[in-house]
Amino acid sequence: MTTERKSGERKLTAFLGNPDRPDIGNAIHSTDGAREYGYQAALVGGATVWGWASPAILDALGTDWLDHGWVEIAFRRPTYPGDDLTITVTPEADHWLLRITGADGHDRISGELGLGDAPWLGELTKTPYRPAEPEMAVHPTLTPEIAPVGRQLAPLGGPEGISGAEVSVRRHQEADHELFRGPNARLHPAWVAARPIRVLHHTYDYGPAIHAKSHIQWLAPAVGTPDLVTTATFHETYERKGHHYGIFDCSTYDGGGRELIRQRHTTVFAVAKRGMA
């Protein structure tokens, strides 16, 4: 395990491919949809922005982090296409601090990360492995009244595995790191952070939605995995400033039933229009 206390830094300009196309699933990532809710432009997806930190994280923590590491992040402010971002990963006594900051000095994302087990790992539910279930023909709309508090969501599978993750990385990350391509590719952190969104959409329609927080624990290397199944347990829903939040935990397994990743996802599944709360 890496012991040297390194730091990492990266600068880039935020981008979002074709925010004006008519088939965007989450309207908050479209120009017109975001403006309808009081935002100045289309919001870049939270998992995408978080994924841009991966090179700086790997510089600081090395690949051990992808084998057995953790991160806790909060999405503080919207990221818009064209925003100039500075990403820093700095060592503390027993962990690292992550900041993704705009040119205005305000954090878009902040959090902590480290190697080994996270201090909060015991708080996350390990939802047992179950075979993947097909997507329902009709999805109910997620509301606080029907939120499945205390229940498991339908397991998400499919043959995409690492190959699907690789395509997503090329499209949204412009990343050509050898760790994330080829037959022995790893699951990219951006893909991992977005996996719970796909799990919830496997059962429910909802949105516009905004990624609020992620707790992610890598338990074992995800290398060249052909098939993945993600199970989930929905824990809580609440309202704050007109937004409706949901919290649920996910476990992602390889084809042999080995748990690779455990995470907690906090989402705003119903966004209040600014000025309407």
Give dist(CA 156, CA 154) in Å, integer: 6
Give dist(CA 20, CA 13) in Å, integer: 19
Flag whether pLDDT at 276 surpasses 60: no
pLDDT value of residue 3: 52
pLDDT value of residue 163: 52
Which residue has 């609440």 as its token pair? 238
Give dist(CA 82, CA 71) in Å, integer: 26
Return the axis-axis angle of helices 189-201 and 54-61, rounded to nearest 10°: 130
Question: How high does pLDDT run on average in the chain?
Answer: 90
Tell me whether residue 32 is in a domain.
yes
Tell me whether residue 1 is in a domain.
no
Which residue has 């995470």 as its token pair? 263
pLDDT value of residue 25: 85
Return the axis-axis angle of helices 189-201 and 161-172, rounded to nearest 10°: 110
Flag whether pLDDT at 192 surpasses 70: yes
pLDDT in tens, 146-183: 999 999 999 999 655 555 566 666 665 655 577 887 77
Tell me whether residue 277 is in a domain.
no
Tell me whether residue 245 is in a domain.
yes
Using an 8 Å Cβ cutoff, are 232 and 127 in contact? yes
Which of the residue ranges 60-74, 76-90, 221-235 would you say has the lowest mean pLDDT?
A: 221-235
Rounded to a whole number, what is the distance in angstroms from the first to the last CA of the chain? 48
pLDDT value of residue 62: 94
Residue 87 CA neighbour count, 13 Å, CB half: 22
Transcribe 196-220 into DSSP letters: HHHHHHTT-B--S-EEEEEEEEE-S
Which amino acid is present at 251?
S
Which of the residue ranges 20-24, 41-45, 63-67 would you say has the lowest mean pLDDT?
A: 20-24
Flag whether pLDDT at 2 surpasses 50: no
Give dist(CA 118, CA 228) in Å, integer: 23
Q: How confident is the model at residue 246 (pLDDT cuts 50, 70, 90)?
A: very high
Both tokens assigned to 228: 């993945």
pLDDT value of residue 148: 97
Which domain does 242 fall in, by range? 8-117+125-270
Q: Count Cβ atoms below 10 Å from residue 35 Cβ, excluding itself.
A: 12
Give the C-alpha distances (Å, rounded to integers) separating 247 from 68, 241, 267: 23, 17, 7
Angle, CA of 246, 248 and 252, to the nearest 5°? 145
Flag whether pLDDT at 33 surpasses 50: yes
Tell me whether residue 258 is in a domain.
yes
Q: What is the DSSP letter of 179?
A: G
pLDDT value of residue 257: 93
pLDDT value of residue 223: 81
Angle, CA of 120, 215 and 64, to the nearest 5°? 85
Give dist(CA 72, CA 51) in Å, integer: 13
What is the count of structural domains for the chain? 1
Flag whether pLDDT at 107 surpasses 50: yes
Flag whether pLDDT at 6 surpasses 80: yes
pTM for this entry:
0.93
Flag whether pLDDT at 135 surpasses 90: no
Flag whether pLDDT at 60 surpasses 60: yes
CATH number of the domain bearing residue 53? 3.10.129.10
Tell me whether residue 2 is in a domain.
no
Tell me whether residue 276 is in a domain.
no
The four Cα atoms 71, 75, 80, 81 give a dihedral, to 10 degrees, of 10
